[in-house]
Structure 1
Amino acid sequence: MELDGKDLKKRKSILMDLWNELITIWESNPQKISREYVIERLKGEYSKEGISPIRGASEPKDLFDKELTSLYILGKYGMGLEVQYPEFFDKVFSIEVKMDQVNDLLLSDNTDGLRDKVSAIIGNVDGNSIARILRIPLTKIYFGFSNESTIKRVADSLKKMFPEQAKEVNKYIKFYAAFKIANDIDIGKIKNRITKEAFKQALALELNIDRKSLPSDKYIMKIASDVFKVSNKNLKNVFSFNNKKIQKEKQIKK
């Protein structure tokens, strides 16, 4: 996702400021830093700035725990902090470090014993761990630290190694497709219905999925509205929807 929309610029700024705060605390009082503390600080900053965690239509209880992936990815790949503060990463990002290691394995050419290697790192592979594994490449792509073929390669490898989790993998890829299209609306690459449909077709080819597996317009619109804060005016240009209904839903959320 090569262009920075308003959401990404704001998100990066918030995360970088939070990193600066956390490192200052770590250097003076490392005992104060814990995964739980960082989650609460992240939640507080997002709330203050009106930023939504990266998500689909639902808001699971562990959403902000998963959103630590954003802080982890920016800190490691954008700021190079893992090398400087390995103990911090071990203490706060133990889950993300493991998921990142799994991604490296899934992207490698050596598939010998891959299923066992992945299980040895994260234990039982279920729907939740599938979502955490795939959140790594999604976030790296969104922040500009990886190319867009990465998530497909990871997804394909997961389905090959864990065929019993194919449904969960496909479910996440549908979310990724919706997230990508919503982001393209946010950055102005998609401005009308025709372009949106063309992008959908291209994405189906890129991800090697049939059109039936693509996200619905309603799902894309919800992410565009809730996560990227795309205006009703811009949404109306891209989708056919009941403007009064959308306004009512936003008022209820407030």
Structure 2
Amino acid sequence: MPTASDLHKERVEIAVNIWGEILNGSVSTRRELVELLREAYEAGRIEPIRGKTKIDIYDKELATVFLVGKHGLGLDEELEKVRDLFVVEYAANMVLERVMKGEDPRKATEEVFEKVDENIVFRILRLAMTAVALGFMPEDEFLKVLLAFEKSFPEYAPNFLGFKRFFIAYKLAESIAKGEVRDRIEKEALKHAMCLRLSSEKAAPPDWLIREIAVKVLKVPEHKVNDALSLARKSARHLRRKIAE
């Protein structure tokens, strides 16, 4: 059964190669870095980690390159030297470290970024979620961070609902890819459990979003995804028996 990191092997390999370009001095601006990442992904037919939106998606995907450098390659000293390339991610990581030590998210964000807006808040959370996806952060730690931010920024309540929906959809897609979810009953059970963990029944994602992430981002064969999202005959009979009881 593949691990979370196995699902992103090609993504990580590209990030490692990009770090080679960074360290040999071939990249001097963030814009060049974004373009390098876009070209590499398109050549490898890889989609950024995303939900339905593609706005600034390759700039956001620099979170992957940053995390692979910091946690995968241990390039802390090198990151310090090229922090201008990762200005958003570097600052977001500083906020996350402070929040994980118990500091108020609003206070930490204001002090590090010197301002607070919707984009900054969710770029921080995207970095944390990407760390979970790549196996660099425990899911339980991420959920604590997410709920702390939600409590600290009530004005972004609708955005948090959408972000939770995206995260749950990603986790369901990941579970399908790993073979942990094989039919609709298992999918619905996990979806319900995730909603409870996030204290939000309204965050249940639609099947089309789960399918989009599974097929496009995680490259799960479409027939496997369809099996997990559809009521197989055996599952349907089981469901009818449960209803009859």
Secondary structure of 2:144's partner?
helix
**How do residues 78-97 of structure 1 correspond to structure 2 at under 5 angstroms?**
78-88=72-82, 90-97=83-90
Amino acid at match of 1:39: V
Partner of 1:38: 33
Equivalenced residues, count: 230
1:27-58 CA distance string (max 9 Å, x none):
xx6xx421111111101100000000111012
CA-atom RMSD, angstroms? Answer: 2.0
Partner of 2:218: 228
Misfit runs of 4+, over 3 Å: 4-7
1:191-227 CA distance string (max 9 Å, x none):
22122112112212322222x3211112111211221
1:149-202 CA distance string (max 9 Å, x none):
122212221122221122212221111111111111112221221221121122
**How do residues 116-131 of structure 1 correspond to structure 2 at under 5 angstroms?**
116-131=107-122
* C-alpha deviation, 1:122, in angstroms: 1.9
TM normalised by structure 2 equals: 0.86
Contact map agreement 1:191 1:237 (CA 8 A) in 2: yes
Match of 2:177 among 183, 186, 192: 186
Contact map agreement 1:178 1:219 (CA 8 A) in 2: yes
* C-alpha deviation, 1:138, in angstroms: 0.7
Contact map agreement 2:109 2:115 (CA 8 A) in 1: no
| Unaligned stretches of 5+ residues in structure 1 | 242-254
1:93-147 CA distance string (max 9 Å, x none):
1111111111122222244xx5344213224433322220111111111111111
Partner of 1:249: none
**TM-aligned CA distance change 1:98 to 1:225, over 3 Å:** same
Partner of 1:50: 45
**TM-aligned CA distance change 1:108 to 1:132, over 3 Å:** same
Contact map agreement 1:7 1:228 (CA 8 A) in 2: yes
Contact map agreement 1:35 1:91 (CA 8 A) in 2: yes
TM normalised by structure 1 equals: 0.83
**TM-aligned CA distance change 1:169 to 1:105, over 3 Å:** farther
Task: State the alpha-carbon separation in 2 of the partners of residues 85 and 213 from structure 1.
Answer: 36
Contact map agreement 2:69 2:79 (CA 8 A) in 1: no
Contact map agreement 1:140 1:146 (CA 8 A) in 2: yes
1:64-106 CA distance string (max 9 Å, x none):
1111000001100111112244211x12111111111111222
Amino acid at match of 1:126: D
Contact map agreement 1:5 1:187 (CA 8 A) in 2: no
Contact map agreement 1:5 1:186 (CA 8 A) in 2: no
Secondary structure of 1:121's partner?
helix
Partner of 2:17: 17
* C-alpha deviation, 1:6, in angstroms: 5.6
Partner of 1:164: 155
Task: State the alpha-carbon separation in 1 of the partners of residues 4 and 152 from structure 2.
Answer: 34
* C-alpha deviation, 1:19, in angstroms: 1.5
Provide the identity percentage: 30
Contact map agreement 1:102 1:121 (CA 8 A) in 2: yes
Residue 239 of structure 1 pairs with residue 245 of structure 2: no
Task: State the alpha-carbon separation in 2 of the partners of residues 200 and 231 from structure 1.
Answer: 21
Task: State the alpha-carbon separation in 2 of the partners of residues 97 and 232 from structure 1.
Answer: 36
Residue 59 of structure 1 pairs with residue 50 of structure 2: no
Task: State the alpha-carbon separation in 2 of the partners of residues 13 and 124 from structure 1.
Answer: 34
